[in-house]
Amino acid sequence: MYETWEELEQSIVNCNKCKLCKTRQNIVFGVGNRNAKIMFIGEGPGADEDRLGEPFVGKAGKLMNMAFQAVGIKREEVYIANIVKCRPPANRNPEEDECVACLDYLRNQVMLVKPKIIVLLGSVALKNVLGKEYGITASRGNVIEKKGITYIPTWHPAALLRDESKKIDFINDLKLVLKNGEYYGEK
């Protein structure tokens, strides 16, 4: 594990641990407040993210930003990362070997940020962080405590684009994040 952000970022610059490196434009490392109390973890970059090198900047990211604004979360005050740092072709879910290849980078990001709450965006994030036995439909909206961190699984913002009825759940889950967090010094 790396002790500094600089060491961690340098370690990933030329990553070729899995086949995703062959088709990426940019590594999408993570963005936001490196001392955030709240961290969001998605599954992997899409086309816009791959092009720009930043997570959640496409349609799903814009929707997430609107939801943040609706509940009072400032994007610049949270940290946002993904399970995999390179775009899976055709926006498919990352395969297990691709997730495994990237998980140490994510673990190191979590160690450096030291968040109090981690919001798991969708099934891929949930299963890779908490375990394969978790399902997003049963887990979303629940507060799960493990090793001193509060995890709150919710829908991936891309799911909201496909099914608008999930938007209310997503907003309510973000409110749950604020209720359970130190975001406004509540704890």
* Residue 174 domain-assigned (yes or no): yes
87 with 27: CB under 8 angstroms?
A: no
- Residue 176 and residue 173: Cα distance in Å, rounded? 5
* Residue 81 domain-assigned (yes or no): yes
Q: If you search the block for the tokens 């899976």, which residue do you land on?
A: 88
CATH code of 24's domain = 3.40.470.10
* Residue 186 domain-assigned (yes or no): no
* Residue 187 domain-assigned (yes or no): no
Boundaries of domain holding 23: 5-180
Q: What is the pLDDT of residues 135-171, one digit of tens each?
A: 999 999 999 999 999 999 999 999 999 999 999 999 9
* Residue 145 domain-assigned (yes or no): yes
Mean of pLDDT values over 91-104:
97
* pLDDT value for 182: 55
Count how many domains the chain has: 1
